[in-house]
Amino acid sequence: MSFPEVHLLFHQPIADHSFNADRSRLAVARDSRVQLYAHSGKGFKLEDELAGQDKTVTSVDFAPQSGKIVTCSQGA
């Protein structure tokens, strides 16, 4: 029986998160940006940040085949 991995990345609320297909990258929706983390050793390290939304990002996901990141926000 394998135990789940537990990673503490931050102490503020997030709207959503998603792992890519092989779980080597993590996308986190925070406020009006998406932070991208890469698996590094026994944890995750901030790799990049996607900004540009003018409203709160409410969901984030990786496309299963291409690995592209898809987001939704409160903007019209």
pLDDT in tens, 4-32: 766 676 677 888 999 999 999 999 998 89
pTM for the model: 0.82
- Residue 70 Cα distances to 2, 23, 28, angstroms: 31, 16, 12
Q: How confident is the model at residue 13, as a pLDDT?
A: 81
How long is the chain? 76
23-27, 42-46, 59-63, range with the lowest pLDDT: 42-46
Q: How confident is the model at residue 45, as a pLDDT?
A: 94
* 3-state SS track over the chain: CCCCCCCCCCCCCCCEEEECCCCCEEEEEECCEEEEEEEECCEEEEEEEECCCCCCEEEEEECCCCCCEEEEECCC
Q: What is the average per-residue pLDDT within 52-63?
A: 91
